[in-house]
Structure 1
């Protein structure tokens, strides 16, 4: 059975039928409708992984459709089709992102079959075999594992060049499939969200990470751990009790745990998200806004939600040593965070020049391939024993500054 399910709504049946035919040829299960009533039923009962919406429809327009999808907390990949002014289409795309929807592309109407096929194949590639049974089996059979990437503190003395103690390890989810190798979280997390499996996956991640942290503590390794949280985890108020119980069971102080979430994660049911996140802080857990600066509501979320730290998105960090504009943006983010009494993490550090810029603008913590690649738990112990101060004076002199491939993470 095909796991890619595309739902299409268009008020012109011939155009909708063309979209459906091409999607079917590209390996999707497809349903096309001109009715908003049927569309709503299919979203709730069929759980499409991909949705194509016509922006300009006479009865219910595409903006209203996106409002409904946001209310349903849809995690389907959304494609907007329209022949309207490109500025209008871009505004609609940004609105969809603002509402927390996964708007992955737009199609200019009228479109040829070859153009549609190119778009549909791009978003189907690599995920057509993943279904609920595969993900459930992965949880059951231990195919999911964690790797850990360290974060290090800025030098206390300006210009010393030594980023001293390790302040946290971020737990990153990995899926190794015997017959297919490693599958990127960017491929399977959206599918898990659409299939309502994120609670099970996050519970597994929390249990594994907290158990590992307890083991490190018994060995005298006391370093906090960061865990990514999906938007789908913020729809059940018992997340707080479940997580606190897991920490208590293995003897972990909640202050040793940082939950990372993107700003869009809290945009579904805002009141419930505020309830959950505030209670997590009351229990002693820390909260980090991940990928800061990439969305459209960062400042609103910083004001509204009880974050203790923020992580500047790698897109800004990667350019801050080469682009004066990016450096100014990073500097402004650091100053804003400090004025709000938040700790700042620069993620995606891949060369020495970038690390130096982060130190100059006062960024508190750095994370990235230059520090260390994600590693298995046993490798962390060895790394910590041999790299208590990073980088060494020799590495300061010999840093190459070359860029490398970015790691996949679970958010």
Structure 2
């Protein structure tokens, strides 16, 4: 029997101040970490490659190659380690650096302003490491970048053969954890390339006039599943679902589809055949979608609301004309852009923006939804500030239809209702 202790997590520190670097190293070692420290960027990158740290602490202010440049290079090397940003610069600079690194695809665990306390560092070190995070995430939900050899014919074949599936991500009521509905998301498992990132194949579908077919297929599949889900006796009697409000399904609409009256008429026909009320369907549009043809958007969206369909302005807060679109178009919901939600835990500015959007939505009589929630602290902040609905990995990853019932019965709604976040 092997009684050897498990290997310690590894922390690599890059800091131009040897005293601070050694202090971080000492605190980490006292917390049970294996820690190494360097002041030289060249040696640092060698250690990243050869030592494979779980977490990296990077000082922003460095001679020669600064911290932002270092993180850009780490992103280029597809580094998966958790990143802690340290600096004596002001909080806004730290937040900006954190957002920049996140947008490069790095896993930012938090920022550590100097001077810091040992407790602050230990709290960041107790954040789940990338390996622990990946072990809790179903591999089926992690999209992989497509091969450069992916062609338009591959997408056409995928549409013809039904390779693109509908996955469903739950939305819950922030106040009581009850299920509010689902967002239908397109997922493509290519037989040769594996999972293809949605932002790649959706853009390709838009560029090659296939987006209407993709949207129609997604709507048909999703609505068929949704009708069966809502009419299931087990679901209708579930205490965590039947809260006096109908469950809703959100469908994403491309900017290029706003003027496609036939597409919306087909979706309406599906709803009638399946006995789904228009009030149960939410069409999600980005600001870009609404701006593609303002007059056509106003006509189409007004008619959809007259029929009873719900409208959601997705990614609210990221565009220059979001406020204009919110006022001029008949939306019923706004979704706080996940870039603010993902950084709310460490950014006061992001928290301020999130609260302002929630307050604005309520003042206009709109449902407010936050997506991209990955930790309990952010969920608590949203709930305390009156956000209506929550969506994100903390609640559930997008899942195929066959997994929804199991999630509800074994790890979903009941657990969320009774959970003390």
TM-score for the superposition, normalised by structure 1: 0.62
- What is the alpha-carbon distance in structure 2 between the residues aligned to residue 248 and residue 370 of structure 1? 34
Say which SS state the counterpart of residue 332 (structure 1) adopts: helix
The answer for the alignment partner of 2:191 in structure 1 is 178
CA RMSD, Structure 1 to Structure 2 (Å): 1.7
The answer for the alignment partner of 1:276 in structure 2 is 300
1:192 matched to 2:212? The reply is no
> Against the structure 1 CA distance between its residues 369 and 132, is the aligned structure 2 distance closer, same or farther, given a 3 Å change threshold?
same
1:325 to 349, 355, 360: 349
1:334 matched to 2:358? The reply is yes
The answer for the alignment partner of 1:148 in structure 2 is 168
Q: Mean Cα displacement is larger for which, 322-331 or 174-183?
A: 322-331
Say which SS state the counterpart of residue 243 (structure 1) adopts: helix
Cα offset, 1:235, TM superposition: 2.6
Aligned residue pairs total 265
1:132 to 152, 159, 169: 152
Say which SS state the counterpart of residue 235 (structure 1) adopts: coil
1:201 matched to 2:225? The reply is no
The answer for the alignment partner of 1:389 in structure 2 is 414
Equivalent residues in 2 for 1:199-348, closer than 5 Å: 199-220=212-233, 221=235, 223-348=247-372
Cα offset, 1:127, TM superposition: 6.0
Structure with more contact order per residue of length (Cα contacts < 8 Å, sep ≥ 6): 1
Cα offset, 1:368, TM superposition: 0.4
Say which SS state the counterpart of residue 185 (structure 2) adopts: strand
> Against the structure 1 CA distance between its residues 285 and 326, is the aligned structure 2 distance closer, same or farther, given a 3 Å change threshold?
same
- What is the alpha-carbon distance in structure 1 between the residues aligned to residue 369 and residue 287 of structure 2? 15
Cα offset, 1:329, TM superposition: 1.1
- What is the alpha-carbon distance in structure 2 between the residues aligned to residue 240 and residue 146 of structure 1? 18
- What is the alpha-carbon distance in structure 2 between the residues aligned to residue 126 and residue 136 of structure 1? 15
- What is the alpha-carbon distance in structure 2 between the residues aligned to residue 392 and residue 307 of structure 1? 29
Say which SS state the counterpart of residue 391 (structure 1) adopts: helix
Cα offset, 1:315, TM superposition: 1.0
- What is the alpha-carbon distance in structure 1 between the residues aligned to residue 318 and residue 345 of structure 2? 19
- What is the alpha-carbon distance in structure 1 between the residues aligned to residue 414 and residue 331 of structure 2? 28
Equivalent residues in 2 for 1:69-108, closer than 5 Å: none
- What is the alpha-carbon distance in structure 1 between the residues aligned to residue 160 and residue 264 of structure 2? 24
- What is the alpha-carbon distance in structure 1 between the residues aligned to residue 314 and residue 348 of structure 2? 23
Say which SS state the counterpart of residue 147 (structure 1) adopts: strand
- What is the alpha-carbon distance in structure 1 between the residues aligned to residue 168 and residue 380 of structure 2? 24
The answer for the alignment partner of 2:384 in structure 1 is 360
- What is the alpha-carbon distance in structure 2 between the residues aligned to residue 260 and residue 174 of structure 1? 17
- What is the alpha-carbon distance in structure 1 between the residues aligned to residue 316 and residue 349 of structure 2? 16
- What is the alpha-carbon distance in structure 2 between the residues aligned to residue 304 and residue 255 of structure 1? 21
- What is the alpha-carbon distance in structure 2 between the residues aligned to residue 339 and residue 218 of structure 1? 35
- What is the alpha-carbon distance in structure 1 between the residues aligned to residue 147 and residue 317 of structure 2? 29
Say which SS state the counterpart of residue 296 (structure 1) adopts: coil
Cα offset, 1:249, TM superposition: 1.7
- What is the alpha-carbon distance in structure 2 between the residues aligned to residue 276 and residue 365 of structure 1? 26
- What is the alpha-carbon distance in structure 2 between the residues aligned to residue 250 and residue 367 of structure 1? 26
**Does the CA contact (< 8 Å) of 1:334 and 1:361 recur in 2?**
yes
Cα offset, 1:236, TM superposition: 1.9
